Amino acid sequence: MAKTLPVKKRLASALKRAESVPAWIILRTGGEIRASRRRRNWRHSRSIKP
């Protein structure tokens, strides 16, 4: 399957959403917030349609 521009954009935005929480936020909250609520693994869920 050829990746068209709309598909690439959708996959790129999904990749950005799955990023981890920045280190300075973990430090500021004293380690309370460690993982992003929207964190997911591409193998565990099929929420993104390519």
Give pLDDT, residue 49. 63
Mean pLDDT of 18-35: 86
Tell me what percent of the residues of the chain surpass a pLDDT of 90. 18
What CATH code is carried by the domain that includes residue 31? 1.10.1620.10
Higher pLDDT: 41 or 15? It is: 15
Kindly list the distances between the CA atom of residue 14 and the CA atoms of 28, 35, 40, 45, in Å, as whole numbers in the listed order.
Answer: 26, 16, 10, 12
Structural domain range at position 49: 1-50
User: Does the pLDDT of residue 15 top 90, yes or no?
Assistant: no
State which amino acid sits at residue 28: R
Task: State the pLDDT confidence band at 1, using cuts at 50, 70 and 90.
Answer: low
Eight-state DSSP code of residue 49: -
Q: Rounded to the nearest 10 degrees, how much is the dihedral formed by the CA atoms of 3, 13, 41, 32?
A: 170
- How many residues does this entry show for the chain? 50
Its pTM stands at 0.49
Whose tokens are 């990749």? That residue is: 15
Q: How many domains does the chain have?
A: 1
